[in-house]
Chain A
Amino acid sequence: MCSDSDETRTDGELVAATARGDDAAFAVLVRRYVRQATLLAAQYLGVRHEAEDIVQDALMIVHRVARRFDADRPFPPWFFAIVRRLASNRRSRNSRGGRLLRLWWRPNVDEPVAVGFEAGLVAGIDAAVARRAMNMLAPMQRACFELVAIRGLSTTEVAAMHGIAESTVRQHVFRARAALRHALGKTGQ
Chain B
Amino acid sequence: MRSGRPASEGLKTMPDLDLFDTSAVRDDANSWDALAARITAAAVGARSDSVLGWLASPRAAAVTAFSLAVGVLVVLLAGQNEEPPVATAREEWRLLLAPSDRLGRTLATGDQPPAVEQLLNERGDIR
Contact = CB atoms under 8 A, between A and B. Distances in A.
Most chain A CB inside 10 Å of its own CB: which residue of B20, B26, B40: B20
A56 B22 contact: no
Nearest to A35: B32
Contacts of A42: 20, 22, 24-25
Q: What is the interface of chain B mostly: helix, strand, loop, or mixed?
A: loop
A139 interface: yes
Contacts of A27: 36-37, 40
Interface residues of A, number: 54
Given A55-B39, A56-B42, A60-B46, A88 B7 contact: no
A125 interface: no
A171 B2 CA distance: 14
Interface residues of B, number: 35
Interface string A106-135: 000000101111100000000000000010
Contacts of A55: 35, 39
Contacts of B22: 39, 42-43, 146-147, 151
A91 to B, nearest CB: 8
Interface stretch (B10-18, B79-87, B94-102): B10-18
B125 interface: no
Contact of B7 (A60, A141, A182): A141
Interface of B: 2, 6-8, 10-27, 32-33, 35-40, 42-44, 46-47
Shortest Cβ-Cβ A-B pairs, 3 listed: A46-B20, A138-B7, A63-B43
